[in-house]
């Protein structure tokens, strides 16, 4: 199993550009989530999904959209990139709700200039 994969690993955007961060898992996990990690702060939840077709907002959802059309994929879309979205983004999945072991992707380092 590949586990949780994320692409790209690195990305530089100009302010106002849009892009999609890809996340996929091959473990048939129902629960998937997106986090951002910033210096001096803990990981913060952006959006999450408890199954295909079901998504909800996390702590810091503004400026991001998600969809979950399949169990495997959970892309994160930046609609109009801003410098405040410069961060490292992690996708995670688990078999069930958050009392199950979490599996993290390798992360995407995004810089918005």
Partner 1 sequence: KNEVEQSPQNLTAQEGEFITINCSYSVGISALHWLQQHPGGGIVSLFMLSSGKKKHGRLIATINIQEKHSSLHITASHPRDSAVYICAVNTGETSGSRLTFGEGTQLTVNP
What are the residues binding partner 1 (CB under 8 A)? Answer: 33, 40-45, 48, 56, 58-59, 88, 90, 92, 97-104, 106-107, 109
Question: Phi and psi (nearest 5°) for 83?
Answer: -55, -30
- Report, in Å, the least distance between residue 23 CB and partner 1: 14
Question: Residue 33 or 85: which CB sits closer to partner 1?
Answer: 33
Question: Residue 17 or 43: which CB sits closer to partner 1?
Answer: 43
- Report, in Å, the least distance between residue 96 CB and partner 1: 10
Question: Residue 14 or 101: which CB sits closer to partner 1?
Answer: 101
- Report, in Å, the least distance between residue 16 CB and partner 1: 27
Backbone dihedral region of 40: left (phi > 0), alpha (psi from -120 to 50 degrees) or beta? Answer: left
- Report, in Å, the least distance between residue 6 CB and partner 1: 11
Question: Residue 74 or 90: which CB sits closer to partner 1?
Answer: 90
């Amino acid at each position: 199993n590949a586990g949780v994969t994320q692409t790209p690993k690195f990305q530089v955007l100009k302010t106002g550009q849009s892009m999609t961060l890809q996340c996929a898992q091959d473990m048939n996990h129902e629960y998937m989530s997106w986090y951002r990690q910033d210096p001096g702060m803990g990981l913060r939840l952006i959006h999450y999904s408890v199954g295909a077709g079901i998504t909800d907002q996390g702590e810091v959802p503004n400026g991001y959209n998600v969809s979950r059309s399949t169990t495997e994929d959970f892309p994160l879309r930046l609609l109009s990139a801003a410098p405040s979205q410069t961060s490292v983004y992690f996708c995670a999945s688990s078999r069930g709700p958050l009392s199950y072991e979490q599996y993290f992707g390798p992360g995407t380092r995004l810089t918005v200039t």
